[in-house]
Each structure stands twice: as C-alpha cells, then as structure tokens.
Amino acid sequence: MTRLQAWQGTVFILLWLAYGATYLLRKPLGIIKGDLEVGFKVKPSNLGWVDTALLLPYALVSITLGSLGDRLGPRITLAGGLVLSAAATVPMASCQSLPPLLVLLTVSGAGQALCWPAACSLLSRWYSDASRNSVFGMFGTCCFLGGLAGTGLAVYMQAEHGWRSVFLPPAIIVACLGVLVSVLGKSPGDLGLVVPNRAADQQAKDGKEGGTSMLKVFRMAMVPEVSVTMFCIKAVRYALMFWLPLYLTRTLGYTQTGAGLASTSFEVGGVVGSACVGMVVDRWMGGRALLASAFAIVGSAISLLLFMLTSSWGLVFHAVFLAIAGALNCGPDVLLAGSVAADIGEREGGAPSAVSSVVNGMGSLGTVLEGPVVAFAAAYFGFSSMVPLMILLMCFGAVATFRANQIHRRTMGRIKLANETTVA
C-alpha cells in the first residue's frame, strides 16, 4: 500500500464516521418526543417545533453561509461544526422546559449545517475525477447507517437510563471525532501528495479558495436546477420517512407494527442505492452523474406509481416497490449534493464547499416544508393524495435534472472546442 492510498483510506473512514455521527445527534429527537410531552407538559402540536428548531437553521445556514468552508478550509470548518453541535447537545439533558431546548437545537442545527459541505470538499480532494462518483456513493451510506445507529443508541439509553441520558453519549462521540478531524483531516497538498488523474490546476487551488456569496453560487451554471432537484427528492424522502406508516394504516389497513416494518423498505433501499449508484455511474455510464440521476429519479417516480397501483396486492409487492423507490431516490441525493456539487464548485468558481452547502441547504429546505405540505394535502384531499403528490415532486426533480444535464453537455462541448482551437 502506498502512502497516498493509506491516507485516502484514513481520510475516507474519518469523514464517514464524522458525518455519520451527526445522525447520532438528530435521531434521539424522534425517540423521546413522548417523554418531552410529559416532562415539559406541552401539547403534542408544540412538539413540531422540536424538528423545526433543528432543521430550519440547518437549511438557512447551509444556504447563506456555504462559503465559510472555502474561507476557513474544510478541515477547520468540519471540526468546528462537529464541536459546536456537540457542545450545544450536552446541556439539553438539563433543560427543564421547551424554550431552552429549542435554542440549543438551533445552535446544534447551525453547527451540523457546516459539516456536509466541508466533508464533501475535503473528500473530493483525495480521489481522482474518474472515481469520484463511486467514492461519494459509498460515503453517502454513512447517513443511513448513522441514522440506524443513532436510533439504536437512543432507544438503549432511554430504556436503561431515562430520556435525558440520550444526549451525552452522542455529544462525546461527535466531539472526539471533531478533534480527530482537526488533527488528521488534511488535504493532499498539506502532505506533499499528488492525486493522479485529478486536474492539476484544481490541486493547486486546494486549501486556497476564497469566499463566494450565495448570489454568485446561484448564478453558476446548473446550480439552480440541481438545487430544485434536491428540494424535490429530499422532500419526498422525508415525507415518506415521517408519513408513510400513517399512510399505510389509514389507506391500506395496515397495523401499526406492519406499517412500521413495511416503511423500512424505503430506507433499506436507500442504503443499497447510495452504495451502488456511484459505481454504476463510473463503470457503465462514463461518469455522467447528472444523466444517471435524472433516469434514477424517473425510476423512483415509476416505482411509487406502481406501489400505488398495486395497493391491493399485499405486503411483498409494497416492500419491493418501496425499496426500489428508496434506492432510486437516495442514490441521486448523494451524487447531487456530493460529487456533482463539488465538481460544479471546482469548475465554475473554485468554491466546492459553497456549492455543496447551497445545494444541500435547498434540499434541507424541502425537509422543513414537506410536513406542512403533506398535512395540507391530507386535510383537504385525504391521505390517498400523498403518494400522487410525491410522484409529482419527483417528476419536477427529474425535469430539473435533465435540464442541468443539457447545460452540462453544452458547457463541456464549449470547453472541448476551446481546447481544440488552442491546440490548433
């Protein structure tokens, strides 16, 4: 094993653990809502502010402060975001009412918003352009496996030591990983290493990007289209995550246990899709991540349509179509907010963190708004309208991705023509 390969493996594992650990901070909120209702003596309707306090600042910081990672460097930004979110989580165990908890969740959400773009920027520096989609596909599994680990840890701590104990272990883990990132999260240039088959001019820029405003990011080619796509697919993903069990019980007559088990098919498919989509793109589609994402999103919409049309066929068909929909939804999620966003940032303005942050932030905005939208549709049109709404959103996302792919083809065509003219 060469020194470069050793460092590539070290950085990948460190970043995988670091970003996956942020889900240890998020998952307890879904586990302890009942305890918060009793302990803080609040109405169930007020518990919705718990999710909003975390997700809204996450989205807003991602969109407005995306260039911070380019100004400070991904190592400092990621380490700082991890330590800040961990420090805000520790005092949650001692909160005696809902308002202080909401304030701490706001700080934690803001800190976590810094982590994804910084991790993507740092990871992209260590791998060649040809392998980037495969690497980001495998990296994206940390979101789903981290979520499963976060749920398991929270359930165990709640059962053994009470609901207040769910905050401290995740905070300690995240803080320790933040320290490790500050020590080991180096770029190849810091170690005198050169990554083969990666643009030499970009390697020279690594660690020296300047700040880029949000407006400049949105003016970059493909950023608006990719942002719309991320908004749509993340809204669908979170809507199915939070509302699918209720949909299955209300419209298809599932028991609560059966609905819970069936709904996990979407998440299981997401893990498989995230791990495989990058390799498919790099090995069989020539690295055309935008085109692959567009077809995958169309496939996810078709799978949801088949799920709806076969509603009377039973659990097996439901589970299969939901798993396919999950794989074809979560795979593009990882590529668009990871390798595609980093590539746009590097090529257009030398600001991979800013572009990744804005794209991911727009997706997070979709997670904030999906709840009210689904609730409104269910109230006026019934729960049977939920899946058609999800299909419509996926179609919007597919159209936006096909549009981004057309822009990309024209851009690369102009670059190729300019290079040929220069050589001639």
pLDDT tens track for 236-254: 988 887 778 778 887 888 8
For residue 357, the enclosing domain spans: 212-424
Q: Model confidence over 225-238: pLDDT tens digits?
A: 999 999 999 999 88
Least confident of 15-19, 129-133, 143-147, 209-213: 209-213
Nearby residues of 21 by Cβ (< 8 Å), 6 or more positions away: 82, 146, 170, 173, 174, 177
- Mean pLDDT confidence for 257-285: 80
198 and 217, same domain (yes or no): no
- Per-residue pLDDT at 203 exceeds 70: no
Same domain, 249 and 200: no
4-8, 139-143, 209-213, 255-259: which range is least confident on average? 209-213
Model confidence at 143, pLDDT cuts 50, 70, 90, reads confident
Give the separation between CA 21 and CA 78, rounded to whole angstroms. Answer: 12
283 and 319 assigned to the same domain:
yes
Residue finishing a domain among 179, 204, 229: 204
Mean pLDDT, rounded, for 58-70: 80
Percent of residues, the chain, with pLDDT higher than 70? 91
DSSP 277-325: HHHHHHHHSTT-HHHHHHHHHHHHHHHHHHHHHTTTS-HHHHHHHHHHH
One domain for residues 134 and 229: no
Domain shared by 131 and 241, yes or no: no
Q: Which tens digit of pLDDT belongs to each residue from 72-120? A: 888 999 999 999 999 999 999 999 888 999 999 999 999 999 998 899 8
Pair (167, 222) in one structural domain:
no
Per-residue pLDDT band for 181 (boundaries 50, 70, 90) equals very high
Do 23 and 147 lie in a common domain? yes
Of 204, 229, 251, the one marking the end of a domain is 204
pTM of the full predicted structure? 0.79
Distance between CA 173 and CA 178 in Å, rounded?
A: 9
Q: Tens of pLDDT along 373-401?
A: 887 888 788 878 889 999 999 999 999 99
DSSP class of residue 258 equals H
Q: What is the total count of domains within the chain?
A: 2
Same domain, 197 and 248: no
pLDDT-derived band at 324 (thresholds 50, 70, 90) equals very high
Residues 118 and 178 in one domain: yes
Q: Which of 154, 173, 204 is the last residue of a domain?
A: 204
CATH assignment of the domain containing 142 = 1.20.1250.20
Q: Give pLDDT, residue 108.
A: 95
More confident residue, 169 or 347: 169
Per-residue model confidence (pLDDT) at position 207: 54
Domain co-membership, 223 together with 323: yes
In order of 22, 100, 163, 167, 315, the CA distances from 158 in angstroms are 19, 21, 5, 10, 31
pLDDT of residue 15: 96
Question: Does an H or E element contain 180, and which?
Answer: helix 168-184
d(CA 220, CA 345): 8
How sure is the predictor about 277, in pLDDT bands with cuts at 50, 70 and 90?
Answer: confident
Residue 24's pLDDT band, with cuts at 50, 70 and 90, is: very high
Closest C-alpha among 222, 212, 232 to residue 300: 232
**Same structural domain, 114 and 254:** no
Q: Both 198 and 223 in a single domain? A: no
Q: Considering the chain, what is the average pLDDT of its residues?
A: 85
